[in-house]
A and B are shown apart, each in its own frame.
Chain A
Amino acid sequence: MEEREFQPRIVGFLCNWCTYAAADMAGASKKEISASLNVVRVMCSSRIDHNLLLTTYFNGADGILVAG
């Protein structure tokens, strides 16, 4: 079987006011960030519940980042 490089799939739930803004600033500074990270913007990281986390894992995420 052909071996492929492992490309993890990570979903990041980022708070609109802090971490999402930080990710924007990283972008504006042209920092390289892995394409593995898929950002979902929320208005507050406290919005994230077990439902969302489990659904995300069931859909095949290798990791979840909740940052706020």
Chain B
Amino acid sequence: MSDKIGIYVCECGPNISGRVDIDRIIAEISNLEEFSDKELIVKPHKLLCSVGGKAFLEEEIKNNELTHLVCAACSPRDHDTTFINVCKKTQLNPYMYTIVNIREQCAWIIPDKEKATDKAIQYIRGGIDRVLYQEPLFEKQLESNPDVLIIGGGMAGLTAALVLAGKSRNVYLIEKTSILGGKAALFSEFLPHQSDIADLKNKIKEVENNQYIRIFRNTELEKIVGFLGNFEIVLKQNQTGDTTDLLAGAVILANGYELMDARELDNFKYTDADNVFTGLEIEEMLTSQGKITLRSGEKPRSAALIHCVGRKEAGYCSQVCCNYLLKTAGYLLKQVPGIEIIDLHQDLCQPHTEDQAYFESFKEKGMQFCRVQEVALDGNKIEYVNMAGEKKEIAPDMVIIAPAMKATASNEALSALTSIDLHETGFFQEAHIKINPVSTKTDGIFIAGASRGPCDISEAMIQAQAAGGKILTQLIPGEKIIPEVKVSEILEAYCTGCKTCLDVCAYGAIYFDNERGISVVNEAICRGCGNCVGSCPSGALRSRHFTNLQLYQQVKEALR
């Protein structure tokens, strides 16, 4: 079949026609010598994106049996989809069409009408050349598995499990230890504006009783390969070494946090014999023995709270410590009336509306608050410098510190298994810090709770529901997944197996086939950015719909 190219120039009312010479465009494009062996149909239209314009295009494509289509109109960001949808109603493959932007980046920016017309003609020639090198592309459909693997049985993991589990979706919840509830299970009370401790116990019960949730205790992830809708998973029981194979469509990493060991810091010296406790140790003590005591078993008569321990070294504020140290002060004030408490902080971080009133209630209870520039600890002796620059020394009976929350070693292990990135702080890296906060660079792998950054119990629960929401919208039981078509492909004969592309792919879409010694693109993961194409030293990679040849045509015409 010979090439039959339809070129339609949109006047966009006066928006294009008022600033370029449409008649000259039609005349010059119709008589281009280099396309004299092709059949060109060149027509103007008042407004291609209008209902009438779309019907006109559809008729033109069908009646003229077009093999290629060029729409010279506005930005592809405005109406590319509009014209693709027109193509889909006809015999023309939508990848045999191209849009040429003669409005935003031509008519509107060049005041001289003659120059603007020249430019429009130049761009349209580029479009014709480009479209001749385009190839039809076809969508694929992949089966998908709706089940979900959740790693971590803390507040985030439990919450996500309950959002997701149901008739048409199983949840596999794996927990490294033998108990569910995570760090929150050690707590004696939650903050007043957080969920109640009874909620956690109910949640654990609900999860245990849910027929669609299968719990694996003392279990860790051993291996995972695949993509959204199709992950092959191997789990390993810690104690027996037994493995289990599973299939799931999505994974949530909710493996929690740990506290920095303050003794790693130069200015914090103490031993297990000293009456120095972390906020978490106070919670544990209260939960296990019902009261807070010194190591000798006696009641403390004075206490100091030290905030921001390791904040500078960690490089971030852990955001929850200001509140939970106040909570421990609350336990002490209730248990030992008249106890003297001094609170040493650098900044007070009270990011929720309720926080300030909570803080003020402690001011009223006679606690002393002191802002410090520096603080050092040796046993229970504290040396600090206040904001006026004065050096002070105190030695309270008990010292309660708030070391920075940090990522656990399992973040690194999971990052290696799943190939999702770690943030420079060691927490998981979101797909986008603002607009895609529970997704990762790999479709189908989500993050929730403190393994993605310091957060309190309420926030961990919200994140878990968000990850649940993302999965419920992306993995619909019975629905097939349609991956992006404009992706990279490897020309096997050219691939030398240097693996450069594996390093540059931000999405982990390329893997190495050891047997054949070549890289392979997983089209279900590739987003078509072309980073690998730009970096391949042997030219073995090709960007579908943005091939070198297609771009050369545009460049060639641009420089004619």
Contact = CB atoms under 8 A, between A and B. Distances in A.
Asked if chains A and B are in direct contact (CB within 8 A), the reply is yes
Interface in B503-560: 504, 528-531, 533-536, 539, 543, 546, 548, 551-552, 554-556, 558-559
Contacts of B530: 42-44, 46-47
Contacts of A59: 555-556, 559
Taking residues whose C-beta sits less than 8 angstroms from the other chain, chain B's interface range is 35 or more
Contacts of A47: 529-531, 533-534, 543, 546
A56 B554 CA distance: 10
A26 to B, nearest CB: 7
Given A33-B110, A55-B555, A41 B76 contact: yes
Interface residues of A, number: 33
Contacts of B112: 35
Contacts of A24: 75, 77, 101, 104-105
Contacts of A9: 558-559
B119 interface: yes
Nearest to B488: A47
Contact of A27 (B109, B119, B122, B486): B109
A43 B558 contact: no
A21 B77 contact: yes
What is the interface of chain B mostly: helix, strand, loop, or mixed?
A: helix
B76 A56 contact: no
B551 A52 contact: yes
B105 A27 contact: yes
Contacts of A39: 101, 105
A1 B539 CA distance: 44
A44 B507 CA distance: 14
Contacts of A43: 486, 528-530, 543, 546
Interface string B101-138: 10111001111100110110011001000000000000
A56 B548 CA distance: 11
A56 B559 contact: yes
Interface in A30-59: 30-33, 35, 38-44, 46-49, 51-52, 55-56, 59
A53 B504 CA distance: 19
Contacts of A35: 110, 112, 115-116, 118-119
A6 to B, nearest CB: 15
Contacts of B559: 9, 11, 38, 56, 59-61
Contacts of A23: 104-105
Given A24-B77, A24-B104, A27-B109, A46 B555 contact: no
Contacts of B548: 51-52
B118 A38 contact: no
A26 B111 CA distance: 14
B510 to A, nearest CB: 14
Contacts of A52: 548, 551-552, 555
Contacts of A16: 76-77
A57 B109 CA distance: 25
A26 B118 CA distance: 20
Contact of B534 (A49, A56, A61): A49
B528 A51 contact: no
Nearest to A68: B529
Nearest to A64: B555
Given A33-B109, A40-B551, A20 B529 contact: no
B183 to A, nearest CB: 39
Nearest to B506: A46
Contact of A56 (B123, B533, B546, B555): B555
13 contacts: A9-B558, A23-B104, A24-B101, A35-B110, A44-B531, A46-B530, A46-B534, A46-B535, A47-B546, A48-B534, A49-B535, A51-B539, A52-B555
Given A42-B546, A46-B504, A47-B531, 8 more contacts: A16-B76, A24-B101, A26-B104, A40-B126, A43-B530, A46-B534, A49-B535, A61-B559
10 tightest A-B contacts by CB?
Answer: A47-B530, A27-B104, A38-B558, A44-B529, A46-B531, A49-B534, A33-B109, A27-B108, A24-B104, A59-B559
